[in-house]
Amino acid sequence: MIIEANNPDLYSWVQVPDRSGFPIQNLPFGVFKTKNLSPRCGVAIGEKILDLHRVYDVGLLNDSGLRTNHFAKNTLNDFIGLGREAGRGIRNRLSYLLNEQNAELRDRADRDTFLVDQTAAEMLMPIEVKNYTDFYSSEQHAFNVGSMFRDPDNALLPNWKHIPVGYHGRASSIIVSGNPIKRPKGQVMPEGADMPVFGPSRLLDFELEMAFITCKENGLGNSISTAAADDHIFGFVLFNDWSARDIQKWEYVPLGPFLAKNFASSVSPWIVTLDALEPFRIAGDTQSPRVLPYLQFQGEKNFDIDLEVFIQPESGEVTRVSTSNFKYMYWNVNQQLAHHSVNGCNIEVGDMYASGTISGPTADSYGSMLELSWRGTKPLKMKGGGERKFIQDGDTVIMRGTAERNGVRIGFGEVSTKVLPAD
Ligand code: MN
C-alpha cells in the first residue's frame, strides 16, 4: 500500500526544525484550545498546529468527503469514527495543503490565521475514552515480575505464551499530559504485619506503555481477525499506566489490578496515525510454542519506535532512567484485538488498548521502577545527586517516543506528569 502523505521527499511551507518529530510525513491529530480559540481539532506540523476547524470552515476540505465539521468538536471521536480510509483521505489532503509546492493555503493572505504556536496552545484529551483495556504483552516485563514475585525458573505462568493476557481498566481517569496527579492513598499490608494499614502509597511507579485507539466497531457477537485488525486501529499515543505497587501487592489476588491502577493513567496528546507508522513496521520475535489459529497472522506487525523515560525532580537535573522500544512486544496489536474480540466482545470507536509495560532485554531498558530498581534493591543514581527506588512527591515523569527511518522522524511528543503529595 502506497500512502502519499508518507513520501520522504515531501517538504512543507511551514518551517520544520531539523530534529522535529512533526515533519509533514507525521501529521498527528490532537485537540487544543488557546486563550482566543475554543476547543477544536488540529494536526501538528513543526512547532505549529494547523487549525482544522478553520481549514474546514473556509472550504479547503470540500472535496474530502467530510459532510460535517467534526473538527469543531472537542474530541476526535466523530472524526476517527469515519474509519481508517476516510482518515487516510483527510491526512493525504492535509499533506497536500501543507506541501511547499501547493499554493492553495500557502499563498493565502490570511494563512497565518490557520496556524497556532504549540507553545500558545493547551492540549486537551484527544478522545473521549469509551473503554480501556491494559495488556501484559512484553515477555521481558512478565518475566521480570514473575521472577521477583514468584520463581525465576517458572517466571511465566503457563497461559502466558498462549493468551495475550489483559484486564479491563478504568477509562474515566485517563488524563492528558501536563495535568498533575495526587499520590494515591489506599490499603496496604506491611511486611510481617497481620493487619492492613491505610495511607499514601509509598511505592508509586510508572509503566512505560503505548496504546492504540480504535476507529471501527465490530458489533456485539462478532470477532475481528488478525488480518482485519488494522482497519480498526486509528493510531497510537504514549501511555503511562501509573501503578501503586504496595496497594497492588495486597489487593490483586484473585481478580487482578484495581485501586492500584485506576487512580490515573496519562497519555500524550497527539495521536500518531497507523498510516504514519506503516514505514516503521518490523517483525516481532518468533512465537514458540505455535499459537492457536485465531492468533496467527501474516506480515510484520511490530513497530520500531524508540522510547525513553525521564525523571525531573522538583529541584535538580532531569535524569533519563530507561530507553526501550515498542518492538519488544511478544504479542502484537493485531493479536491483542483478535483475542479481545474472539468471544464476541464489542469494540467501540474511541476505545484505548494499552500494550502493557514495555521492557527491553537489558537492565537499562526496563519499563518500570519496579524492574529498574529491582523492587528497590538497586536504587537508580540521579544526575546531580540523590537516588530513586520509586517515584517521589514533586517528581515529574516524562516519556518520549520517536520512530526514525530513511531520514524521516516521526515523533509522539511526550507524556509528562507531575506527582503531587497526597492530601
Ligand atoms: Mn500496565
Q: Where are the beta strands (DSSP E) in 215-257?
A: 233-240, 243-244
Classify 76 as helix, strand or coil. coil
Q: Report residue 63: phi and psi, to 5°.
A: -95, 15
- Using the mean position of ligand 1's atoms as its centre, give its distance from the Cα of residue 292 in Å: 25
- 232 counts as catalytic: no
Pairing of strands 396-405, 306-312: antiparallel
- Using the mean position of ligand 1's atoms as its centre, give its distance from the Cα of residue 356 in Å: 4
Which helix H or strand E contains 415, and what residues bound it?
strand 408-420
Is residue 206 a contact partner of residue 308, using CB atoms and an 8 Å limit? no
Classify 17 as helix, strand or coil. coil
- Using the mean position of ligand 1's atoms as its centre, give its distance from the Cα of residue 131 in Å: 15
* Cα of 359 vs its chain's centroid, Å: 15
The amino acid present at 279, given as its one-letter code, is P
User: Peptide bond before 28: cis, by omega within 30 degrees of 0?
Assistant: no
- Using the mean position of ligand 1's atoms as its centre, give its distance from the Cα of residue 18 in Å: 34
**Exactly one of 53, 70, 141, 339 is catalytic; which is it?**
141
Given this model, what pLDDT does residue 169 score?
Answer: 97
- Using the mean position of ligand 1's atoms as its centre, give its distance from the Cα of residue 367 in Å: 10
- Using the mean position of ligand 1's atoms as its centre, give its distance from the Cα of residue 73 in Å: 30
Given this model, what pLDDT does residue 149 score?
Answer: 85
10-residue stretch averages of pLDDT, the chain, 423 residues long: 92 97 98 98 98 98 92 98 96 98 97 98 98 98 93 94 98 98 98 96 98 98 98 98 97 94 98 98 97 98 98 95 98 98 98 98 98 97 95 98 96 98 95
d(CA 154, CA 166): 20
- Using the mean position of ligand 1's atoms as its centre, give its distance from the Cα of residue 358 in Å: 9
Which helix H or strand E contains 86, and what residues bound it?
helix 84-98
Given this model, what pLDDT does residue 35 score?
Answer: 98
Given this model, what pLDDT does residue 200 score?
Answer: 98
Residue with cell 479491563: 168
Give which of 198, 210, 346, 375 is closest to 280, Cα–Cα.
Answer: 210
